[in-house]
Amino acid sequence: MSRIFPVEKYQKDFLLKLLRDMVLIRRVEEKAGQMYGLQKIGGFCHLYIGQEAVATGSIAAIDLTKDYVLTTYRDHGHALVCGMDPGVLMAELFGKVTGCAKGKGGSMHLFDVENHMYGGHGIVGSHIPLATGVALKIKYKEEDGVVLCYFGDGAIHQGAFHESLNMAKIWNLPIVYICENNQYGMGTNYQRVSSVHDFYIMSNSYGIPGKQVDGMNVLEVYEETKKAVKQAREEGLPSFLEIKTYRYRGHSMSDPAKYRTREELEEYRQQDPILLLKNAMVEKNIITEEEYKKIDDECKVIANQAVEFAEKSEEPPLESLYEDVLA
Amino acid sequence: MPIITYREALRSAMDEEMARDENVILLGEEVGQYDGAYKVSQGLLDKYGPKRVIDTPITEEGFTGVGIGAAMAGLRPIVEWMTFNFSIMALDQVINNAAKMRYMSGGQFKVPIVFRGPNGPAEYLAAQHSQALQTLFVHIPGLKVVAPATPYDAKGLLKSAIRDDNPVVFLEGELMYAWKGEVPEEEYLIPIGKADIKRQGSDVTIITYSKPLRIVEQAAQELEKQGIQAEIVDLRSLRPLDQETIFNSVKKTNRCVIVDESWPMVSVASHVGWMVSKFCFDYLDAPVELVTSEDVPMPYNHKLELAAQPSVEKVINAVKKVLYI
């Protein structure tokens, strides 16, 4: 696939931020994977490696002082780009009291209400109506905000998706629905279980424009999200983006991903979203390989420090078991 | 004191709370232009407009979730389910989202929302439209569940539910909407979690809630003619449960019958029965008796559907059993 990376159109700082956000996600996720192997993290742990450009490019197009993000259980990348401290994130994965949810949510339930990161939701598709409700609140309060609602290809056949799009359209809600099509709903290729293979056309059934976006190209993700956000903010209209991406790891840490070939994985690794942006920036003399190495080293240090913070943090006290059931 | 219907009491609670707090909105099927499937929301669209009284598509999972998301972001929605039978379509939203959001976010969110509508059987509606589903909600930590039986309780509890910062499941009854009772004109609130002694008595405690209160009151009148003084404990709130009022009554009368229109297995009745048996063990002069619906889906035929539910006769028989007469 030929891709266009018009890096010369952007400020260097902006490009560096995109690059750095993606590298940080990659390094934190690799660390999370390692810590899972060491049994420091338990349960389900869904890594975002390979999909970094989606959260990075799209969240770069919003303003979290007034906009909102809701996503699935594959939420580490979104939380980091929304501004969650990597140490707080890692502590949550470790189940420590210093985690964002005091150790009660874990990997699948990252929340950062201050930064308008509204989860971290574990039931496939179930948060799509919630995101639609946040958009209803924005409209009701006559605010200027927009909601980005992320979900995987597996969620597209849930009733909650279809019910939500219908309501978003009849009430003209400022929301962008983003399907991160990483091509596998757990171990099932989306083409095996979908009556149509291009999901972006589905929103047309509800009178909502849909567009397919290259999820390995962070600049394309940014530009397309920016257009959709503008439409939501200025005209109060919902839209739908199908962002084609790929996860390098299994569905969760326990999944050896035997349902796909090495060749397929290698093909996508050749289109790595981080390397594609980095190479384009190097080619146009925006950064040097050495500068990139420095960014990468810094992110590795941050990931290590996150683990140290999590390790040193306390377990939640037993009495917290009964706290926060009710307000 | 003015006498109004249960329906009017609910409407007046919503009206007062919508006037008091602009974050309160009402959404559901037919709540606006149609004035409510059971006319509970009659007139509210005219008064508050379509921005605050929102007609939804037939999309229970969807609009219930929309309400929960809006509550997370600061509104105080009232979600009307046309009946609780349709709430089953929305159970994922209530159980996985409304009830869990505060806990799994480490206390970052409040979910101030009310889910309300008619629960339990009416008449001639057959299996899918005649279900008393409270057990499904009472089972879930993170929810409050309220089931008022009189217009006075309905108004005071609905106002409290709307002001509560937690998800509150509010159980009404189709046949109860026309019930009348005294409701003061001045504002009042009834706290969630307090049972009410609807009748004082010394010989037996009858614990009930919601629609069966009527047959329990009729049974108590019949029993009085036979010299038996029944005390009626109306739970009003199912989660949290007012254990103190229950236990104090049973400790006084030493005998306990529980009347519940839902099915017998793993029910409010069976749970309260266990609690009384355990915590009032030394005070009981007879095993606790339960009067519930029969353990069958609801039939259409009227004779059969009446036989499936608690009745005055069944309550009297249960009372006589715990009195050994």
Q: Is the pLDDT of residue B173 over 90?
A: yes
Q: Which residue has the tokens 């589903």?
A: B133
Q: Is the pLDDT of residue B323 over 70?
A: yes
B221-239 tens-digit pLDDT: 999 999 999 999 999 999 9
Average pLDDT, integer, range B194-204: 98
Domain-by-domain residue ranges, chain A? 7-310
Q: Tell me the C-alpha to C-alpha distance, in Å, between residue B201 and each of A106, B221, B320.
A: 52, 11, 15
* Domains B3-182 and B196-322 are alike in CATH topology: yes
Q: What is the DSSP string of B76-105?
A: EEEEEPS-HHHHGGGHHIIIIIITTHHHHT
Catalytic residue list contains B129:
yes
Residues A111, B108: C-beta atoms closer than 8 Å: yes
Residue type, B175: L
A259-290 tens-digit pLDDT: 999 999 999 999 999 999 999 999 999 999 99
Residues B106, A127: C-beta atoms closer than 8 Å: no
Using a pLDDT cut of 70, give the percent of chain B over it: 100
Q: Tell me the C-alpha to C-alpha distance, in Å, between residue A273 and each of A7, A294, A298.
A: 14, 18, 19
Structurally, at CATH architecture level, domain A7-310 sits in 3-Layer(aba) Sandwich (3.40)
Residues B75 and B63: their CA atoms lie apart, in Å, by 14
Residue of A nearest to B76 (CA): A137
| CB < 8 Å & 24+ apart, contacts of A256-265 | A257/A187, A258/A187, A259/A184, A259/A187, A259/A188, A259/A189, A260/A184, A260/A189
A20-68 tens-digit pLDDT: 999 999 999 999 999 999 999 999 999 999 999 999 999 999 999 999 9
Residue A3: predicted pLDDT: 87
Q: Is the pLDDT of residue A254 over 90?
A: no
**B82: closest CA of chain A, how far (Å):** 17
Residues A193 and A171: their CA atoms lie apart, in Å, by 31
CATH class entry, domain B196-322: alpha beta
Mean pLDDT of chain B: 98
Average pLDDT, integer, range B185-199: 98
Catalytic residue list contains B60:
yes
Residues B106, A68: C-beta atoms closer than 8 Å: no
**Omega within 30 of 0 (cis) for the link into B65:** no
Residue A163: which of B61, B68, B110 has the nearest Cβ? B61
Residues B259 and B254: their CA atoms lie apart, in Å, by 17
Looking at beta carbons, which residues of chain B come within 8 Å of A236? none
Residues B70, A166: C-beta atoms closer than 8 Å: no
Tokens encoding A235: 């005209």
Domain-by-domain residue ranges, chain B? 3-182, 196-322
Residue B74: which of A105, A132, A137 has the nearest Cβ? A137
Q: Let me know: does A122 contact B61? Beta carbons within 8 Å.
A: no
For B252, phi and psi rounded to 5 degrees? Answer: -80, -45
Residue A208: predicted pLDDT: 98
Residue B68: which of A101, A133, A325 has the nearest Cβ? A133
Residue type, B112: P
Average pLDDT, integer, range A211-217: 98
Residues A20 and A298: their CA atoms lie apart, in Å, by 9
Beta-carbon pairs below 8 A across chains A and B: 141
What is the pTM assigned to this prediction? Answer: 0.97
In the structure, what pLDDT confidence band is assigned to residue B4 with cuts at 50, 70 and 90? Answer: very high
Instruction: With CA atoms as reference, report the closest residue to A118 among B105, B143, B67, B74.
Output: B105
Tokens encoding A168: 């978003």
Residue A1: predicted pLDDT: 56
Residues B62, A123: C-beta atoms closer than 8 Å: no
Structurally, at CATH architecture level, domain B3-182 sits in 3-Layer(aba) Sandwich (3.40)
Cα angle B56, B61, B64 (rounded to 5 degrees) comes to 65
SS3 A324: coil
Looking at beta carbons, which residues of chain B come within 8 Å of A109? 104-105
Residues A132, B61: C-beta atoms closer than 8 Å: no
B243-295 tens-digit pLDDT: 999 999 999 999 999 999 999 999 999 999 999 999 999 999 999 999 999 99
Residue B285: predicted pLDDT: 98
Q: Which of B60, B231, B261, B289 is catalytic?
A: B60
Residue A256: predicted pLDDT: 87
Crossing angle between the packed helical segments B312-322 and B213-225, to the nearest 10 degrees: 60
Residue B69: which of A105, A111, A131 has the nearest Cβ? A131
